[in-house]
Every structure is written in C-alpha cells, then in structure tokens.
C-alpha cells in the first residue's frame, strides 16, 4: 500500500491505470498505456508507477536506434541521458565539441548520416543483450518506420512495444 509522501494523509492512495504521454523523457511521441497512477485526495500530489524506469527507457533506446530515419536531436539527447552522460562527457566519447553536440541536440544543426551512425553505435555498445544487429540492419537497408512509440505495461515490469 502506498501512502502520500507529501502530506499527512495516512490513507492508502487509490491506484488507477492511465494512458500517459511520457513527455518527462524529453520526447513527445511516447505513450505509456496502463501506467499505474496514484493521486492524493488530500493534497493533490500525483504519483506515477513507472516501476523500473531504467528498463522502460532501455526499451525506448533500443527502439530509437532501430528506426529507419535519422535520429532527431531530442532523440540523441534522450539516448545520451539514458547512458547517464552529461553533454561534456558524451561529447568527449564521440569526439565532438560540446557546443556542436548541444546544437545538434537542440535541432539547431541538422543530424548527418555519419553523426546518426556514430550515436547508434555508441549507444549499442552500452546496451547488453540486444536481439538485433545494427550492421545487418544498415547493410540491408532495414529499420523501423517510427512516428510514435506505444508501450503497454505488462506483468513483472515488462513493457509491450508497439511502433506506429
């Protein structure tokens, strides 16, 4: 049972399931279906039951690096943050200066094919147990048409992925 952490309401919070635009991740095209949601009747504080957020974000990261079109700046930023890097650390790793990376992430400078690939492989190098091969995907010209990501909450903190 979960109680409110923000006020003295001792009553257990009522759990509902909602469909939620996951804008907190920095992307506006990710929808979570069946997300657990709690709201304190006394103070109005809201709580989202993301469960293992690392796992959730990893599903999104794995999906982004398999898309057919180039990554957007916001997607690059999501991926960098998912790996846990600051802008300056990540720019060191990929061999870009921080200002250029910042412009790319903000969309002030267009993502090139070489930059897109660099980001994908940098991310893939840190994600274990992938069930796909990025080399293969690129050589075969495969990849997902990706406009929207929909994730449905399943048992045991798993997420079912649907790409549209």
Residues of the shown chain interacting with Zn ion in the complex, contacts defined by CB under 5 A: 4, 6-7, 9, 40, 42-43, 45
**Minimum distance, C-beta of residue 8 to Zn ion, in the bound complex (Å):** 8
Judged by CB, which is closer to Zn ion: 42, or 103? 42
Cβ contacts of 67-72, under 8 Å, gap ≥ 24: 67/143, 67/144, 67/145, 67/146, 68/142, 68/143, 68/144, 68/145, 68/146, 69/143, 69/145, 69/146, 70/111, 70/112, 70/113, 70/116, 71/111, 71/116, 71/119, 71/120, 72/107, 72/111
Judged by CB, which is closer to Zn ion: 11, or 162? 11
**Minimum distance, C-beta of residue 13 to Zn ion, in the bound complex (Å):** 8
**Residue of 42, 97, 38, 104 lying closest to 77 (CA atoms):** 104
**Minimum distance, C-beta of residue 14 to Zn ion, in the bound complex (Å):** 12
**Minimum distance, C-beta of residue 45 to Zn ion, in the bound complex (Å):** 5
Distance of CA 133 to the CA centre of its chain: 20
Judged by CB, which is closer to Zn ion: 9, or 29? 9
**Minimum distance, C-beta of residue 43 to Zn ion, in the bound complex (Å):** 3
* SS3 label, residue 79: helix
Judged by CB, which is closer to Zn ion: 43, or 161? 43
Instruction: Please tell me the distance from the alpha carbon of residue 64 to that of residue 77, in angstroms, as a whole number.
Output: 12
Judged by CB, which is closer to Zn ion: 1, or 114? 1
């Amino acid at each position: 049972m979960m109680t409110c952490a923000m006020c003295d309401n001792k009553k257990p919070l009522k759990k509902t399931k909602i469909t939620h635009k996951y804008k907190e991740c920095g992307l506006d095209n990710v929808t979570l279906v069946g997300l657990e949601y709690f709201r304190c009747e006394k103070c109005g504080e809201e709580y989202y039951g993301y469960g293992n957020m690392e796992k959730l974000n990893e599903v999104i990261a794995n999906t982004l690096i398999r898309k057919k079109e180039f990554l957007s700046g916001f997607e690059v930023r999501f991926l960098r943050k998912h790996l846990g890097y600051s802008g300056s650390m990540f720019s060191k790793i990929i061999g870009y200066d921080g200002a250029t990376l910042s412009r790319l992430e903000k969309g002030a400078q267009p993502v090139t094919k070489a930059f897109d690939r660099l980001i994908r492989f940098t991310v893939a190098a840190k994600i274990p147990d992938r069930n796909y091969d990025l080399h293969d995907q690129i050589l075969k010209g495969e990849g997902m048409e990706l406009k929207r990501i929909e994730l449905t909450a399943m048992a045991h903190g798993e997420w079912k992925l649907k790409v549209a």
